Amino acid sequence: KAGVTQTPRYLIKTRGQQVTLSCSPISGHRSVSWYQQTPGQGLQFLFEYFSETQRNKGNFPGRFSGRQFSNSRSEMNVSTLELGDSALYLCASSLRQGDNSPLHFGNGTRLTVT
Amino acid sequence: AQSVTQLGSHVSVSEGALVLLRCNYSSSVPPYLFWYVQYPNQGLQLLLKYTSAATLVKGINGFEAEFKKSETSFHLTKPSAHMSDAAEYFCAVSDGNSNSGYALNFGKGTSLLVTP
């Protein structure tokens, strides 16, 4: 079974621009979560989508948004990029049959904002 | 919110030595706990999870963890370290509910160095 696929792997953007990251979950997984990983803050939860609905959201500004499609694929968007948005963005999918369902992570998208 | 604390941001062991990575949780109810590993330029891979079925949990690659309620700990161990075990290890706890959705709260991570 194919794993979680994230595209692109690397992105370089300029301050003020916007960016869209894509995630294809494991087949059959209906939950998709996004995390931001930085050296200073570690792994921080962005949001979770289940059946096209945002179920949970972390403590991030409104510039960070996402959506999920009917095939469970997800995208996240960051508008008006800031230097501090440079990070590894990780997508994870889950069966989400309860809070003990493990997350399966993709290899991430490395975003650099200059 | 439930949280975990990993003691020691860097741990160095010799090849063949015992690996011990520490994690303490903060939870008022029995938590669901996880250990993940991250190799350079990759995502996180699940090592094992605790779901209250057994206090000693065996995972992949020879790792195991023991849930100790009296110590609020969930330390990760491996009897004999291999060079290939060098990576970043994260302890995590599940937070949320079926209404609000779920999230994993991660510790800061422990970087494991294995020396020949």
The per-residue pLDDT for range B6-28, each reduced to its tens digit, is 999 999 999 999 999 999 998 76
B75 or B51, greater pLDDT:
B75
Q: b/e map of A16-45 (b: 16 or more CB within 10 Å)?
A: eeebebebbbbeebbbbbbbbbeeeeebbb
Rg (CA), chain A: 13
For the ranges B7-11, B44-48, B80-84, B101-105, which has the lowest average pLDDT? B101-105
Distance from CA of A17 to the nearest CA of B (A): 25
Q: Which of A43, A55, A107, A110 to mutate to test the interface with B (most CBs of B within 10 A)?
A: A43
| B-chain residue closest to A91, CA distance | B43
User: What are the residues facing A89 on neighbouring strands?
Assistant: A36, A109
Kindly state the DSSP code that residue B60 receives in the 8-state scheme: G
Q: What is the largest CA-CA distance in chain B?
A: 50
The per-residue pLDDT for range A67-100, each reduced to its tens digit, is 999 999 999 999 999 999 999 999 999 987 566 7
Using alpha carbons, select from B70, B67, B74 the residue that is nearest to residue B89: B74
Using alpha carbons, select from A92, A44, A86 the residue that is nearest to residue A68: A92
